[in-house]
Structure 1
Amino acid sequence: MTASETAILCLVAVIGHLMALFWLCVEDYDVDLSRDRIYDLPIKDPQVRRELKNSLHTPMHAAMLVLALFAGLFDARTFGSFLLTALLVTIWAEIWHYASHRAFHLKSLHWIHAEHHKSRLSSPFTALSFSFSEKLVFDIGIIGGMAVLGLFIDLNFFGIATWFVGYLIINSYGHANFEIRGEAFMALKGTVLTSTVYHALHHSRYIGNYGLGTRILDRLFGTEWPDSAAVFNKVVVQKSPLQGLRETVDTPEVQP
């Protein structure tokens, strides 16, 4: 194992906790980034303790990548292979996450996902609060799927490891109880990409808005909450947080 491989594995192992702590500090010290609260509700101490406990096996992501290295997978090292791998794993992760996430909401499989959904009001550490089984399924799906693809295309280990770093960074503020994106987000990027508000609705309402980084599959399969954009507008533009976990927002009628 090279020094650069070791370095990025260490980063994968710790970046989730570092970013969760960062966003907690942003909220606790009322930094300007946290001004747009999503729910005007407190997070209770038992939830914090449970999420911290569940976060202890987050370094599993790095451990699974180590196994991939020892198996001789993803051995391309050109810059072109890095870019291609990063693109392909981003696409595959979106598909795998959506499919497995919806499956976890089936009654027969919900035991895998139930631990994560104990947090109906999410926090940055909710992003790390999964059962061991769910983390295992997620990693096997991502890395295993890429390994199959690697039978036909030369893939780069650093492209996959970098995706995990990005996933852990984005997922930490994607579970915060505040929205860091501004009003302009929904004009263009937000028509495709998810927001923190978007995923907060999934936690508070328990279903819908299953997408990881984009709204594409939710729209394609009809699982997007129709007031997602209206809630974003209420939180970010009107500066009016939701008062209850079941609160909905009327969507404006489209003029003919």
Structure 2
Amino acid sequence: MNQTFENIILAFLLTIGRYFLIAGIFFLVFYLLFPKSLLRNKIQGRLAGTADFLREILHSSVSSMVLAVMALLALSEGIRGYTFIYTDLHAYPIWWVPVSLVLTLVVHDTYFYWMHRILHHKKLFKLTHLVHHQSTNPSPWTSYSFHFLEAIAEGAVMIVLVFAMPLHPLTLMLFALSSFVINVYGHLGYEIMPKGFRNTFLFEIINTSTFHNLHHQKFRGNYGLYLRVWDRLMKTEHPDYVKDYDRMQEKRFGNLPGDTLVKAK
């Protein structure tokens, strides 16, 4: 019992430590150190207030505990024999680690898209997902700002993954890290994609910060996490997305004056 409690505390500290470290670095750079020089990159012409940041951090702290418990459950001895988890790194070719990492992100994107759409159902939205959507102008702190029940649904992807394919714990660690970095980028509030990205095939597949920011503004469409694929297949991509992305890139690279940032009351 004591060992289980210690594992929960350790997992929680690692999860919330990752949250404060990664989200904190992005917040420090974009919101505290260089907000004026990055003015052209700001997606919305206003800033969230301190009360917003504190609310997001509070909810994210609770979510970190839930996510930690869900990760421990996915790796627990009770279900280990039924999963595809392997601990010998050489049980599969070493190239399987990066390949399986990519596949976990693809599976997660599918899982997230349909879970996200379900949470937008009118009978569930106010009960759960509204907490996340209180952040209409998201920041890095928004990344884990979930209702308790939504945090359970978010964390359950770990259980899905260990039953879906052979995975080494190292892969799961890399998945948790990379997915969170992408999540922070999606909620950054600033667009940082390079100028040439718009003219590559990747633009047709990969989400941007502008993509998810539009979802927080409009509360509909753009349900995908990493990719545009499901939104385009299911015709749920917001019709203003490409136009808004082009507007952002024109503001950044077309010598247009940046928006004036107004502190939210």
Counterparts of 1:1-256 in structure 2, within 5 Å, are 11-27=14-30, 28-30=32-34, 32=37, 35-57=40-62, 58-71=64-77, 72=80, 73=83, 74-76=85-87, 77-78=89-90, 79-110=94-125, 111-140=127-156, 142-150=157-165, 154-188=166-200, 189-239=202-252
Which blocks of at least 5 consecutive residues in structure 1 are unaligned? Answer: 2-6, 245-256
| Per-residue deviation, residues 133-189 of structure 1 (Å, max 9, x unmatched) | 11111111x122223324xxx322221221111111121121012111122112112
| Per-residue deviation, residues 46-86 of structure 1 (Å, max 9, x unmatched) | 21121111111224333322233332351242324423431
Q: RMSD value over aligned CA atoms?
A: 2.6
Number of residue equivalences: 236
TM-score (norm 1): 0.82
Is residue 208–residue 223 contact of structure 1 (8 Å, CA) maintained in 2? yes
Is residue 12–residue 161 contact of structure 1 (8 Å, CA) maintained in 2? no
Cα distance in 2 for partners of 1:8, 1:61 equals 9
Cα distance in 2 for partners of 1:112, 1:44 equals 23
Which blocks of at least 5 consecutive residues in structure 2 are unaligned? Answer: 4-9
Is residue 74–residue 159 contact of structure 2 (8 Å, CA) maintained in 1? no
- CA, structure 1 residues 60+33, in 2 after alignment: closer, same or farther (shift >3 Å)? farther
TM-score (norm 2): 0.80
Cα distance in 1 for partners of 2:86, 2:214 equals 40
Alignment identity in percent? 25
Is residue 54–residue 128 contact of structure 1 (8 Å, CA) maintained in 2? yes
Higher helix proportion = 2
Cα distance in 2 for partners of 1:182, 1:167 equals 20
**Which one is further off, 76-85 or 97-106?**
76-85
Is residue 73–residue 159 contact of structure 2 (8 Å, CA) maintained in 1? no
Cα distance in 2 for partners of 1:185, 1:8 equals 37
Equivalent AA in structure 2 for residue 52 of structure 1: I
Give 1:102 shift. 0.4
**Which one is further off, 192-201 or 154-163?**
154-163
| 3-state DSSP of counterpart to 2:123 | coil
Is residue 113–residue 134 contact of structure 1 (8 Å, CA) maintained in 2? yes
Give 1:30 shift. 1.4
